[in-house]
Amino acid sequence: MGGNPAKNHYAQLNQGEENEMEIFGYKTQGCRKALCIAGYILSCGALMLLFYWKPEWDVWANCIPCSLEEADIVLLRTTDEFRIYSRKTVTWISVSALIRSRTDYPASAEEDSIFSKAIMKPSLQVKSIQVQKIRYVWNIYAKQFQKVGVLEDHHTCSAIHAKFGCGLTCNEQNVRRVICGPNTIDVPVIPIWKLLIKEVLNPFYVFQLFSVCLWFAEDYMEYATAIIIMSLLSIFLTVYDLRQQSIKLHRLVESHNNIMVTVCRNKEGFQELESHHLVPGDMLVLKEGKTLLPCDAILISGQCIVNESMLTGESIPVTKTPLPQADNFKPWRMHCAEDYKKHVLFCGTEVIQTKADDRGAVKAVVLRTGFNTAKGDLVRSILYPKPMNFKLYRDAFRFLMCLVAFAAIGMIYTVCVFALNGEEAGEVVKKALDVITIAVPPALPAALTTGIIYTQRRLKKKGIFCISPQRINMCGQLNLICFDKTGTLTEDGLDLWGLLPSERNCFQDIHSFPADRSLPWGPVFRAMAVCHSLIVWQGKIQGDPLDVKMFEATNWVIDDSSGHQIEGQGSTHATVVRPGPKASSVPVEGVTILHQFPFSSALQRMSVIAQEIGGEQQVFTKGAPEMVAMLCRAETVPSNFESELLLYTAQGFRVIGLACKSLQAGKQLTDLTREEVESDLTFLGLLIMENRLKRETKPVLEELSAARIRSVMVTGDNIQTAVTVAKNAGMISPTNRVILVEANQIPGSFSASITWKPLEENKTEYYRSLEDDSQTKRRTRLALESGQYHFAMTGKSYQIVAQHFRHLLPKLLLNGTVFARMSPGQKSSLVEEFQKLDYFVGMCGDGANDCGALKVAHAGISLSEQEASVASPFTSRTPSIACVPELIREGRAALVTSFCMFKYMALYSTIQYLGVLLLYWQLNSFGNYQFLFQDLAITTVIGVTMSFTGAYPKLVPYRPPSQLVSPPLLLSVVLNILFSLSMQIFGFLVVQEQPWYSKTDIHSACLSMNNHMENYSSVSSLGLHGMRDGALEQTDNGYKSYENTTVWLLSTINCLIVALVFSKGKPFRQPIYTNYVFILVLIGQLGICLFLVFADIDDLYSKMDLVCTPTMWRTSMVIMLAVTLAVSFLVEPRLGICIKTGTIAATLPTSPLLSFLKAIHLNDKIKGNARPNHLFFPLVSGMYQALPQAREIQAAFGVSYSDAVDCQEELVTVFWWRALVELV
């Protein structure tokens, strides 16, 4: 893969999509395959296992590169930063049985489709591959693999009606069915044996197997058996969990795979069949009553009310309208723009009501089948989750490789020592391999996840559910949270506050709610009664909360039970609203809602065509006031419209504009376009809704602000309302100014203008894109440097800035706080732009329009408990933003726990490794029970209990470090290794200098003491020597020595010291004494260890391969350990200060720090790459409240990214050395 790929050897799959991949063609070669098989046999399967882990090596070894057209094997590689490879075999699908003659060949509907372009002649076969449940076929003409199971995007609206309006023929349907496969979202329950094999072949367990075999070879039976039992238990628990998940997922989707549906066959009429026979292009007929949709389909006639809670998380019924028969050359999706979803019925959603129009039955064309559907995509995201890119995991792997290199040095040392002393080759190999199992702790991966598992349980108890545990650690790094407004910061329900009617170009007196007097009959009343998408479902009025409140204020009721005759249009099913029992007297029997143009986030409005029973047809529109006013005739809009709107939005009210017009009689409703209907309207007035802040909103935002976590509002509401809510909530301080950023495209040109307007002033300054933008840069910099500004902008302005003023966007985002009138796509884009500035972004929302942003954020927090929360990593049971600081607290605790566990496991293995290497110098080692005690009784128990410590209740204004390879953490590990090494070497050397020490006589110390105390007993020297030799022969197994006893006791208790020192409490976790289990475990383990130090029980010492030493020496060992504990306790908190110093660097504007900065700046000048002073000193003066990332520096000062990276690295170094100065 190193050279240039052969011609047509490489292509891209799903180009531009989220699951984009690179695809390479290969052809199997016989001689290569034979050599590989020989390699499998000679390596006893090791080569096959390696190829299982690395599929790309398997392909490169067995195959030769070729064009994709000739390939029988393809190699796929993801285009993200992970570059994951997968291997797929090309398969052939035969359609010869279906196409016997030219007359059987697919008809006109197929001529420009992938189905006709994929069939090879004369073999009548189709070449295909299957990737992540999606089938791709080879397009003979385009020379590339294309997805099947979807209707091609190039079809226009009119083409869909014309080609598929009458359905497919039986032959076309059969050909498509064979090529596409069944319309099922089939998630088979994975057999236990498959799960077992997959789990056992995990590299971690393979390493465990290698370790166990080695330990059995060394007669280390007890620990090997314990590891086997623990590994089997872990494997069985994992397999059980995976099996249960597989069963749950299977049950979730199986109900949708076998539904009876009615389809329309070209020239053959209607036909009933099972849903798994459906193919793209089929004409689906939707009957009355509830229907579960088995595929994605485009509605082409009639209207549907759909419950999309499975996808969007909102149980509000959604109205679907038919695809217009627009006669143009644009593809249907491009023609419909962001509103294309209003015409699409999604798989897995429930049609709760259908309304036929004058064209007869409600019909829909099958758009996508199987795993290509919206539900299929959701299931695939569960089956194939996107890998997490987090520095901790990358650093952990790198550190593991360092330990492997460390072990390699130990292996070389071991081979040299034992070989030079004439040991047998087999023994030398075993001892050398044993070093790997000591230096690289097999439990390290498990230790890293322990904290996450316990955190997940704690979150569950607090009502926060997590479906992506890997993201918990990311929550500990969040420094910016995007909040939706309605339902998230404010109450979900709206209260109707008042109505400001307009007549003859003037606003009238406001009508307040609730009021003693009822609203008078007129156009405004009719608009409130009919301009909604409410339905009666299960005996209750269902729909948007705003619509419900507005309609309830009229005291009318919905009669949704019968068909109604409409003049000139035959019989159709329509909704009728009538006066209710409490309604005031009106001159009409009721009003019929004939047609709806549903609310669109992109258009920011909705409209209905309604008719008084026996009266004329009228259009009623409601939506964003600015948008509605634009659609009205200028003479009907009051001159003080903007000032009145500002008056109410500035108070935080949600304001809705109302408008209407009469329709010409005799026009067919189906012939009317939305543009025609929503033009030349008459402005009716403003509906004012009150949206109160939730009780917990302000305290939570204050807590985040105190922790220096930015809060940003991203909403679809009016910008003035959003700014007011932001001020009331505390996002914007009363002393700070809000600058409104307005960007507009200049009509008739490709350029744009941007306007800066402080909301408190009327002064406006214009900067054209054609002019020199130096003033723009200067003013932006002044605003940023003051730190007293907040930018606010609409979605439209954001889009224009992103397109025309790209260089300004990062600068605006750094101080942007309110983003209003944002569409779902713009919300996702905004989150991604923040991520490009090196922010760790959280997104908190509750609506369908938040789903995209919830998915792309580092941590998406859904306040909805619907099935759509599958798209969000976290879901809160209580719809309150109080879950956000809770999640950050737990994330920080989990991250620190992961670091503590990592450091402990690394130190434990290194301590043991150093002790063993010291003893290898004398051809000695630890005994089996000594290893067993350290590995099981000490480390395993500590590993389980250390993570019990909960999160600290207060959020501090800095974050824990996110990477292992950082100076403070590395120094912590290195210093503790040096302390341990020094203590062990000291003990190892000093014990040899003791007067009672003997290299050959392991009983000399205690016996000489006894003899001295008994005044030299009468036992003869010879007899005594014989007894000692006999005892030695009976009890010595080759491990016992004074060095062994000294080093083992020191290293074992040192493991306890390290566990205590590394168990950090404040500021991210609760104090260590609150973890009662861990403290009791440490006390118990320390008690046992001290008992082993001072006890003199022959049987116990014999079993543990220890020897008796004088009491004075034992006391000396305890003193050594106490000194090590004191030094570690003294140094470790100081290293914590270093971490804190590096994270809140901007809060240390002391003169030594400034001296350092000046020194760096001077050094740069000497090197000839000086940067301006303003790169450093505003940062030090506290402008950013936290150490800035490279992207922030680049955005704020307009330097290149490489210079920004250098600057950021220098700042980290500066603060690191500043901390060392403090330490000294």
Tell me the catalytic residues: 484
How many CB atoms within 10 Å of residue 819? 25
Apex 107 CA angle, 102 and 112, nearest 5: 110
CB 541 within 8 A of CB 550: no
What CA–CA distance (Å, rounded) separates 489 from 728?
11
Whether the ω angle into residue 122 lies within 30 degrees of 0, i.e. cis, is yes
Grouping H, G, I as helix, E, B as strand and the rest as coil, residue 509 is: coil
What CA–CA distance (Å, rounded) separates 12 from 14?
7
Residues 6+ apart with CB under 8 A from 542: 315, 316, 317, 534, 535, 536
Phi, psi of 715 (to 5 degrees): -140, 165
Phi, psi of 462 (to 5 degrees): -90, 10
Please report the sign of the dihedral spanned by the C-alpha atoms of residue 958, residue 962, residue 967, residue 970.
Answer: positive
Which of the 8 DSSP states describes residue 64?
E
What CA–CA distance (Å, rounded) separates 1215 from 1148?
8
DSSP 635-681: GGS-TTHHHHHHHHHTTT-EEEEEEEEEPPTT--GGG--HHHHTSSB
CB 291 within 8 A of CB 351: yes
**Residue (of 369, 655, 406, 631) closest to 507 by Cα position:** 655
CB 303 within 8 A of CB 355: yes
DSSP 1006-1040: HHHHHHHHTTS-S--HHHHHHHHHHHHHHH--S--
CA 333 to chain centre: 28
Q: What is the 3-state secondary structure (H, E, C) of 695-714?
A: CCHHHHHHHHHHCCCEEEEE
DSSP 785-847: HH--EEEEEEHHHHHHHHHH-TTTHHHHHHHEEEEES--HHHHHHHHHHHHHTT--EEEEE-S
CB 814 within 8 A of CB 841: no
Which of the 8 DSSP states describes residue 585?
P
**Residue (of 73, 97, 101, 100) closest to 87 by Cα position:** 73
Q: Which residues pair with 662 in a beta bridge?
A: 618
On the 0-12 / 13-18 / 19+ scale of CB atoms within 10 A, 890 is buried
Q: Which residues pair with 578 in a beta bridge?
A: 557
Grouping H, G, I as helix, E, B as strand and the rest as coil, residue 505 is: coil
Grouping H, G, I as helix, E, B as strand and the rest as coil, residue 1184 is: coil
CA 110 to chain centre: 40
What CA–CA distance (Å, rounded) separates 236 from 228?
12
CB 1198 within 8 A of CB 817: no
One-letter amino acid at 8 equals: N
Q: Which residues pair with 661 in a beta bridge?
A: 619
Token pair of 1121, please? 């350990």
What CA–CA distance (Å, rounded) separates 268 from 167?
9
